[in-house]
Structure 1
Amino acid sequence: MQTELNKVIAAVGEFYAQETFLLERDLGERTLTHRLAVYVERQFSGWQVDCNYDRLGERTLRLPRGSGSSTDDHLGKSIYPDIVVHQRDIPNNLLAIELRKESNHQPLDHDQRKLQALTDPNVWFAYAMGVLLIVGANGVSSSEVYAGGAIDVATSRWFAERIRDSGLADRRDDGVQR
């Protein structure tokens, strides 16, 4: 898992190096998500990288009835991950990424529940891991890693430290990571 997460960190580093124009102008999450996906794709050769991809072959990614997870459609069944690293035609789903702007004031639990559902080993399309990134103009303010349908606390801590060590953490005037 650390190898793949290091690739995510490299992609985030390239994103911050190349996309200051978008970050400084506070563009929307969809724009930022697309640009991050470009850099993620460069890191994951041999995999397909897509935004808002809700299929596996011909099947739509739908949550099972009674799941407590949040969805993105009016029927409350389909799920649309921000960025996925996968193979489109077979159930080989490696990574789901949810990106949030630091200025997004919607409840965080929507993205957290989505990553829990996407990594739940009991769903037929489960992703091996999920990453939540909260980004701002000054860096990544928060992150979480999901596996097995839950937050992986130890890996999340490791990932946050790697982000900080890579100089990608949000550091304001007081030098404290937010």
Structure 2
Amino acid sequence: MTHIGTFITESETSVKEKLSQALETLLERDSHLLTASATERSLSFRLGMYLQQAFPDWDVDIEYNRWSGPCKRTRHMTTVSHTADTDARTAYPDIIIHHRGTHENLAAIEVQKSTNSFGKHQDIKKIQSYKRDSGFHHAIFVDIGVGDDAGRTQVELMP
């Protein structure tokens, strides 16, 4: 871990290893959700639970919308969302790892199912924007295989 002022962060290697461990747990414990192609929100929630175990000193939140101020807003987002949105096209990152009530933002994570018909371009723009505008140290795109692709995952760390 690295100290930035009083803010302790984790290296890219550490974050990637912990994310890989959480994804392995998801694949082992929630294979039914993957083969049944459960909603992206369901998969994000389960992955978030395993990430919380991997990052016990951090808060892991799903579609967190209780920002402490303008630091966690992004000027890029124009997507309109609705409560019935089962494709999870909201302007919030799917998962964030942060310290609530502070400006300490470790990672913004976008989760996408392999069957997503929108492609990954918009999700990547969203997390890159959160990294740039909100001070997240890591921006990560996770593609989770569902249905016939269950068990396959791809992880991309954004520059």
Both structures adopt the same fold (TM-score exceeding 0.5): yes
1:106 paired with 2:112, answer no
| Count of aligned residue pairs for this structure pair | 136
Greater gyration radius: 1
If the length of structure 1 is used for normalisation, what is the TM-score? 0.70
The amino acid that maps onto 1:91 is: H
The amino acid that maps onto 1:145 is: L
For residue 143 of structure 1, what is the aligned residue in structure 2? 155
Secondary structure of 1:105's partner?
coil
Task: Rate the CA distance shift 1:110–1:16 in 2: closer, same or farther, 3 A.
Answer: same
Checking the alignment, whether the CA contact within 8 Å between 2:71 and 2:103 is kept in structure 1 is no
Secondary structure of 2:137's partner?
strand
Provide the C-alpha distance between the structure 1 equivalents of 2:24 and 2:78, rounded to a whole number of angstroms. 29
Gaps of 5+ in 2: 1-11, 82-89
Q: Deviation at 1:111?
A: 0.3
Tell me how large the CA RMSD over aligned residues is: 1.8
Quick one: which of 109, 117, 123 aligns to 1:97?
Answer: 109
User: Could you give the per-residue CA deviations for residues 149-168 of structure 1, whole angstroms, max 9, x where no partner exists?
Assistant: xxx3xxxxxxxxxxxxxxxx
Provide the C-alpha distance between the structure 2 equivalents of 1:133 and 1:116, rounded to a whole number of angstroms. 13
User: Could you give the per-residue CA deviations for residues 49-86 of structure 1, whole angstroms, max 9, x where no partner exists?
Assistant: 0000133325584223xxxx344436xxx830000000
If the length of structure 2 is used for normalisation, what is the TM-score? 0.78
Aligned structure 1 segments of 4 or more residues deviating by more than 3 angstroms:
58-61, 69-74
For residue 18 of structure 1, what is the aligned residue in structure 2? 29
For residue 131 of structure 1, what is the aligned residue in structure 2? 140
Q: Deviation at 1:48?
A: 0.5
Structure ranking higher on relative contact order (CA contacts 8 Å, 6+ apart): 2
Provide the C-alpha distance between the structure 2 equivalents of 1:19 and 1:10, rounded to a whole number of angstroms. 14
